[in-house]
Amino acid sequence: MILEAVMLQVKPGIEEDYEEAFREASKIISSMKGYISHELQRCMEVKGKYLLLVRWETLEDHTVGFRQSKEYQEWKKQLHHFYDPFPIVEHFENVKL
The span from the CA of 39 to the CA of 1, in Å, is: 16
Q: Is the dihedral of CA 15, 46, 36, 78 positive or negative?
A: positive
> Tens digit of pLDDT for each residue in 20-78?
999 999 999 999 999 999 999 999 999 999 999 999 999 999 999 999 999 999 999 99
Domain count, the chain: 1
Cis before 85 (ω within 30): yes
Boundaries of domain holding 88: 2-93
- What is the reported pLDDT for 89? 97
Residue 3, pLDDT score? 98
pLDDT of residue 80: 97
pLDDT for the residue numbered 49: 98
**pLDDT of res. 86:** 95
Return the H-helix or E-strand segment holding 56. strand 49-56
Burial label, 72 (beta-carbon count in 10 A; 0-12, 13-18, 19+):
middle
